[in-house]
Structure 1
Amino acid sequence: MRSPLILCAILACPVSALAQEAPLLGLRVMAAPTGPIWLGQHVGVTAILRTPSRFAAPPTFPEPALQGRAVVLPNGSTTPGSEREGGTSYVLLQHRYDVFPLQAGSLDFPALRMELPVADADGTARRAAAASESLRIEVRLPPGTQDPALLVTAPALHLDTRLDGDPTRLAVGEAITRHVTLTARDTSAMLLPPMPWAAPDGVRLYPNPPRLSDSSDRGVLSAVREDSAAFVPQRSGRYRLPAASFQWFNPQDGQMRRIDVPALVVEAIAAAPAPEADHRRPGFVLPVLALLAAGAACLAYRRRLGAWLARHRPGRTTPEAQAFADLLRACRQGQAAQACAALLRWSVLAIPAGERPTLRHLACLTTTPELETEGTRLAEHCFARPLGRDQPPGETAPPWSGHGLLTAARRARRRLRTTPRGFPARRGLPPLNPESTPTPAPRVTLPGWAR
């Protein structure tokens, strides 16, 4: 008699009380590949947003603040989809993050939280929120790695070298240019290592800024990096331009390989002597040449005097001079954050118009490599922290000394002012919001540095 009573009680209950309603919004993250992750390997982290009805507005996926050193490419792809679970159909939106770890250890992908309008069963839009769990990625150093800075982790890698000039008969003072191009698959160009240029004694080295390009074909990334440098012998003789090696680790077969850039032997010969002067020329040629030289000297002196007066005239301080004064003041007082901002502004204003406004280009333009070295040291002091460690309570960061940066900046500015180009009298910063918005630069996350 008890069974019919229980059956009647079940039939009397509403169906909604028995069936558990599916949540309006769900969010989860997953990483691929699922096996061991190697240093520099491409990791695809997919955030899956789902609802049992439909999305009332297009969602915007957040940018994650990773704990650890990694590169996250911008403009991740978002694709729709569907799935069925427990008799319920769901509408999906899958957003992919392209992550490249830059340091061995633990890389923590934080929990994501999203809130957006979702249509319920009767079509009414309601605000719904969902959060995912955090994801930890263990990054390993490939076995046999000698120098992580010269390591390429990719399924495919190709190296190509090219030469401009004849190494068998190179006149003293002339340049021969070497080109080294790395082409890799399933990686980014900014992760390809630079060519470690070196020159023997008696040869001057002039490296050019690298050329980087990325492309995607049906979701497969391709990267190209081209490095070039000019070598100029200073005296006659035989010179050997050093070789270089890159390590290539293929995560698919787990094999470590080496790709070599061969050495180059250059025969430098003395330049041809200038033709002897013809002493039978008329006697008025020398006075005319002397007069022209004197006129050119007077004109150059007048231009230099005008430029000096323009720079030192009261109330006519140029933006470049003001930025340089701010940099010197911050270096003398040991203010790292102010020095970093002033260095960025001065490097943009000091470089002539039409050229790359970067600190590396300014260091190459003025042949002052210590300027880039001190700038890198300043950036590491301001932003870098060890992986996965917070600063202990009560412990303060070591003081920063701006003496090296001050000396390098003064030398670079003095050399730049003596060149024929100089820097412009007045020029502001580039527009913050140009008409055509460029592709956003890849974001590099440093340990503990979150937006």
Structure 2
Amino acid sequence: MRALPPAFSRLVAPLPGPLLLAAAMLLPAPLRAQPALELRVVPDQPGPLWFGQHVGLTAILRTRVRFGGSPSFPDPAMTGHAVVLPNGSTTPGTEREGGVSYVLLQHRYDLFPLQTGSLVFPALKLVAPVIGDDGGSITAQAESQPLTFEVRLPPGVRDLHRLVTSPEASLTSEVQGDPARVPVGEALTRRITLRVSDTTSMVLPAVDWQAPSGMRAYPDPPRLEDSSERGVLRAQRIDSAAFVPQRPGRFVLPGSQLQWFNPDSGALTELAIAPLVIEAVAVPVAPHSRPWWRTAPAMLVLLALILGLLGWWAVRHGKLPRRLMPAETPEAAAFAALRRACHANAARPAMAALLRWAALILPPPHLPTLPELARLSRSPALAAEAARLSDLCFAAPAQAPGRAWNGAGLAAAAVKARRRLRRRSPGRREAALPSLNPAGSPTPPPRLILPGWHR
């Protein structure tokens, strides 16, 4: 019981007990004993409700004084089949009743019944701190009354699991790919979207994907989306699946049907997605295609040819490491010395290199002389250049004062002569020097003819 004001207590203290009881009976209702905390649940509509219809419930907690803290509203423990979602917000307020002002806290619940017949929303129990007139804080408890709803099934409903109860609903489909031509083994994706209002995505029916024989279905997890627009709930469910044909032919993917009941108008409507016809075609085989093991020999031959060309180029241009370069023969070394002397226009070194090269390139029993070299190589140019170089090297200084020599002509003639001699004796890379004392041979030792050989 609420304590009376001190002045009023001093006024009634001298009165006898029966008189005090009679006076209390005559007091107005606001002054009588009232609980410090009250809780009640008010539905948006009392009923009856349709199966799956959304109904909002407002839990109102009030006190005549002040709240000492923010109470926590409980989650109701439903005994029947229903979805209850807390709105997630608690709003304060005030109201006046019988001349008394109250402080309010309001909490919202969204109820979606999923069974027919009687559905009971249980009583809620709540404990909250309140502040009295004397400024002290006390803990008060309140409990609401249970609510009973009658849930009905809309007339004409065939399957409860394929029913949508909402003021607005739409069912659409999309296809990713060309149904008229789907190669075997490739996927075609089908997506079905259900959009409704004043409900939650948790109660929306799923799509039953069915694949015909010769085709496989790979469903994706559904996408459930909920939102609120100016206090109106919006829900969306997106189901998608990939269909892969296993053989060529025509396939028919089943459609999808729903029943939509509008609780505002009482109309029952069919929402349907038409079946989808798919033409699966065989994957064309690439012409002249062969297994890799049949083309391997050709690849090996090509690789060997490429490596051979690279090796020839490296040897030709001296790009190989020194340890991989072929060994240089005495004849090749002498010819290289001849070319270097000719490029340097050094007459005497060129003459010495020419004589050495002639002795190495001519095979026995030919004499290692320059006339024999010119004759065997059929090179008049070599004979002329060698004669000119001999005059320059061995003539008296008075006969050839200050004469300059250009070795380009001799180098070119020597290259041609060497090429002809090597073609004449293929496989010969080095002319061995004849024996100094040949046994059983009347042939005298070879002689090198130097000055005057051409005269």
- In the alignment, which of 279, 283, 286 is matched to residue 297 of structure 2? 283
- In the alignment, which of 189, 207, 222 is matched to residue 195 of structure 1? 207
Q: Which residue of 1 aligns with 2:39?
A: 27
Task: Flag the 1:276–1:16 CA change in 2: closer, same or farther, 3 A.
Answer: farther
Contact residue 78 and residue 93 of structure 1 kept, 8 A? yes
Contact residue 38 and residue 140 of structure 1 kept, 8 A? yes
What SS does the corresponding residue of 1:276 show, helix, strand or coil? coil
Q: Which residue of 1 aligns with 2:177?
A: 165
Task: Flag the 1:154–1:283 CA change in 2: closer, same or farther, 3 A.
Answer: same
**1:364-420 C-alpha deviation (Å, 9 max, x unpaired):** xxxxxxxxxxxxxxxxxxxxxxxxxxxxxxxxxxxxxxxxxxxxxxxxxxxxxxxxx
Superposed CA RMSD in Å reads 3.0
- In the alignment, which of 189, 194, 197 is matched to residue 182 of structure 1? 194
Q: Aligned partner of 2:153: which letter?
A: L
Q: Which residue of 2 aligns with 1:248?
A: 260
- In the alignment, which of 224, 230, 235 is matched to residue 212 of structure 1? 224
The normalised TM-score by structure 1 is 0.58
Q: Which residue of 1 aligns with 2:103?
A: 91
1: distance between equivalents of 2:111 and 2:48? Answer: 15
Q: Which moved more, 1:48-57 or 1:124-133?
A: 124-133
1: distance between equivalents of 2:46 and 2:139? Answer: 34
What SS does the corresponding residue of 1:177 show, helix, strand or coil? strand
The alignment status of 1:129 with 2:141, answered yes or no, reads: yes
Q: Aligned partner of 2:218: which letter?
A: Y
What SS does the corresponding residue of 2:202 show, helix, strand or coil? helix
Task: Flag the 1:14–1:205 CA change in 2: closer, same or farther, 3 A.
Answer: closer
What SS does the corresponding residue of 1:48 show, helix, strand or coil? strand
Contact residue 22 and residue 52 of structure 1 kept, 8 A? no
- In the alignment, which of 163, 166, 187 is matched to residue 151 of structure 1? 163
1: distance between equivalents of 2:228 and 2:88? Answer: 12
What SS does the corresponding residue of 1:283 show, helix, strand or coil? helix
Contact residue 77 and residue 95 of structure 1 kept, 8 A? yes
Task: Flag the 1:14–1:104 CA change in 2: closer, same or farther, 3 A.
Answer: closer
1:200 deviates by: 1.7
Q: Aligned partner of 1:170: which letter?
A: V
Contact residue 193 and residue 239 of structure 2 kept, 8 A? yes
2: distance between equivalents of 1:87 and 1:130? Answer: 22
1: distance between equivalents of 2:64 and 2:77? Answer: 29
The alignment status of 1:45 with 2:57, answered yes or no, reads: yes
Which stretches in structure 1 are left out of the alignment for 5+ residues? 1-8, 288-451
Q: Which residue of 2 aligns with 1:118?
A: 130
The alignment status of 1:58 with 2:58, answered yes or no, reads: no
What SS does the corresponding residue of 1:182 show, helix, strand or coil? strand
What SS does the corresponding residue of 2:278 show, helix, strand or coil? strand
Larger radius of gyration: 2
Q: Which residue of 1 aligns with 2:152?
A: 140
Q: Aligned partner of 2:184: which letter?
A: V
User: How do 1:65-104 residues align onto structure 2 when only pairs under 5 Å count?
Assistant: 65-104=77-116
1:75 deviates by: 4.9
- In the alignment, which of 271, 280, 285 is matched to residue 283 of structure 2? 271
Contact residue 101 and residue 139 of structure 1 kept, 8 A? yes
Task: Flag the 1:101–1:121 CA change in 2: closer, same or farther, 3 A.
Answer: same
Q: Which residue of 2 aligns with 1:105?
A: 117
1: distance between equivalents of 2:107 and 2:68? Answer: 18
Q: Aligned partner of 1:283: which letter?
A: P
Q: Which residue of 1 aligns with 2:241?
A: 229
Which stretches in structure 2 are left out of the alignment for 5+ residues? 1-18, 302-455
Q: Which residue of 2 aligns with 1:262?
A: 274
Q: Which residue of 1 aligns with 2:8?
A: none
Contact residue 76 and residue 124 of structure 2 kept, 8 A? yes
2: distance between equivalents of 1:16 and 1:126? Answer: 29
Q: Identity over the aligned pairs, expressed in percent? A: 55
Q: Which residue of 2 aligns with 1:449?
A: none
Task: Flag the 1:15–1:103 CA change in 2: closer, same or farther, 3 A.
Answer: closer
Structure with more contact order per residue of length (Cα contacts < 8 Å, sep ≥ 6): 1
1:219 deviates by: 2.4
Q: Which residue of 2 aligns with 1:439?
A: none
1:17 deviates by: 6.2
1:255 deviates by: 0.9
What SS does the corresponding residue of 1:187 show, helix, strand or coil? coil
1:34 deviates by: 2.1
1:35 deviates by: 3.0
2: distance between equivalents of 1:13 and 1:93? Answer: 35
What SS does the corresponding residue of 1:22 show, helix, strand or coil? coil
Contact residue 39 and residue 103 of structure 1 kept, 8 A? yes
1: distance between equivalents of 2:201 and 2:58? Answer: 22
Contact residue 76 and residue 98 of structure 1 kept, 8 A? no
